[in-house]
Structure 1
Amino acid sequence: MSERAKGILIALVLLIVGATGYWWWHDQMELRWTSVEHESAEATADPMLAATRLLRQNGRTVTGAGSLGELLVPQTAGGTMILSGASGTATPDQARELLEWVRRGNTLIAEPRWLGSDEQGLIAFSKEELAEHAAQEETGEESEEESEEEATAGEDASTTDEAPAAEEKAGDDEAAEAEADDHSDPLTDHLGARTRPDALACKCRTAPDEKDKNKPEAIAKARLAREQALSHLTLPGKPYALEIDAGTTEMVSLVNGAEPLWSDADGGAVRVYAEGKGRIVLVANSFFTNASLPQRDHAQLLLALTELTPGKQVTIVKRLNVLPWYQALWRHYQLALVSLAVCLALLFWSAVRRFGPLLPAPRAERRSLLEHIDASGAWLWKADGGRQVLLDAARDDTLALIRRRVPALFRMPEGELYAALARTCALLETDVSEALEQDAASHVTRFTRQIRTLQTLRNHYER
């Protein structure tokens, strides 16, 4: 190798080593600031903490309630109430109290419930939406005409299935009615507003493939996604529009629904309705939580909505869980006191319904078990057939023990069995035969010999 080639090779190696050392030093030794997302314990416990601090910094008086059940609506100060995450969970009594509170000249900010599957045909479409649906139907007419011939050919085959289909449809209608009853929203039903997923926004927000991101279709789709992600709201008396994150949820109106006083550009994010002297503000998403409040113009929207009423008082209901048992007891103490009084009256009645002097307590003396056994044996000895009962019990117990320990003996003839037992236990064969075969003896001596023979057999085979 020439000297020139060696010099080039050495220079190349030194360049690689130097570049590697520079990269290692820059990656391992240089200090750089990096942002780390962190959520404090207070923010985790209170999803409306940012909104609370923003309102207080702007001169509002903010009070919080853990749940709607804890809030005494008739005693709540006038102003603005924010129901965080209220989506059709208020009970009829709570909804009645809230609507009465709003009619006195206050503002309520809530979320309508989701659109039920049985309400799909009740949506009130705008003129633009109707024109779009008509265009879609025209493009689909040709394919429908082609499918009509195939459907006509199969009508004869499906005639027999009409009755089951009608029953199934009736069952579906009943299920839809039950679903509608289970998903009632007494707070906003009279407004006719529902929320549903924004299918167009969800479709436009689907990220394209890396290889297709520079194509005109992908660029147009990304531009449409950015347009769908924003909703513009012009407040009354303001010369400019607020930008609101439309998200993937939109509000829709049902047939015969109430008309809002004002809303955003397409009415899908924010709507303001008149309710007596007050206002009901419906929002499609939780714009005022800790994560959403810093986005877009949500903070300015919150301040503007709290200015709809003259009062500076703002009540924030953090969540809509049920009332704890101890708070429910304290809230309904009258019912608890009445129940306690009834229980005390029943206890008093059960205590005073007995008359006359108290009987003395019986003596606690107890006889021994042997005395009970001796008394039972003496009674059976005198009773008719009692002796046979005693002998049969002892005989059955002895034979069961021998059969369990030495089952081979019971394969012998009866005479050989008695001889084998007598030989094994050192007894007379006549005594064994008398104890296992004959009736109970009437004489005390013979009966005792029968029982003693059985006990000898039992003791031998129990070892």
Structure 2
Amino acid sequence: MNRRYWLAASVLCAVLLGALSIYLYLKATPYQQVIDHGPAPEVQANPYLAAEHFLRKQGLTVRHANGLDVLPSIEPRQHSLLLLGDRSDMTPRQIDQVMNWTRAGGRLLFVAQSLWDEKLGQSSDLLLDRVQLHQLLSKNLKGPPPDSRADSYPRLTKLYLEDEDAPAYAGFDTAFHLEDPNNLAQAWANSAKATHMMQLNHGLGSIIVVTDADLWKTPAIDQYDNAWLLWYLTADTHVTLLFNTDHDNLLTLLLRYFPQALVALIALIGAWFWQVGVRHGPALEPVPRARRQLQEHLRASADFLFRRKGRDHLLHVLQLDILRRVRRRHPGFEQLGIAEQWQVLARLTGQSTRAISQVMSPRPKQRLSSGEFSRQVAHLQILRNTL
């Protein structure tokens, strides 16, 4: 009976399991899902990587540099230098090098990085001041507001070319405006509100100033005619993009992404130092006071007075002790004159008045040598012991 029961239960479980599998198979629907892991590390490290690839596809030779130390190795003719990074630490000497390189036939493109200060008559962008262009905020421009109704794309910058019916459109930041107070620009590109690109001749070369270069970063470069504009400005030249791609160091990354782990590590190191610093073995018992002798106390007191008040004070203390003892043996001693006091001391101690005057007279304010100090102390002790 039990055997038939377990056999029937096993068959029933197998049938139920098979039916469940068939049901799940018929209901399951396969699908594909694309998981976006974000930009690759090389893309995150180089915001102009897409721009470099695009220019190479157009047949241009493109390289990247982190500093102006490569400038002497770049032939100016048929070469474009794009200063796209921060230039706040650019020195006047470096500006001279860049301008001389451009004058020799190079094509220079840089981003205006500072606003013009009307009161100071300059900006903090030395290179922008050298080419005599000013950058202002578009909202501070004077004059009537433009009629944006006649412009289908008022926020886009338009570049008009000869023999072209329609302009090229670029996505510059319209918050900034380039001004040419000396009418030096040979070409420019405007949005409905302001000017965002200017080109000037400089010797055998040319200078292009833009209000920003974000339109050539990933992913903005594939919008509007941004990529085409970059190719147009660098056409028929070798291209060097200069910007800093230094990465955050390990400590900065740890502080940003693993602060708890750093706190735990610091706590662990502190606990290790505490454990290492724990005293091993029994503590030494303090020396019992009963073993200390009077001589030790006297020597310690003398050493303390010697360090704090000097040799003259010790001599003066000995002299006062001698005078106190002689007053007890000769009443009225303090009322005698100095010569008579020396005579009394000579009679009581058996010393000459000359020797007594030498050791009992006030000391001049000059440093005693060690030998002289020892001699004075010995004579005074002889007088005191005699009394």
The normalised TM-score by structure 1 is 0.42
User: Which structure has the bigger radius of gyration?
Assistant: 2
More helix as a share of residues: 1
Give the number of the structure with larger relative contact order, counting CA–CA contacts within 8 Å between residues 6 or more apart.
1
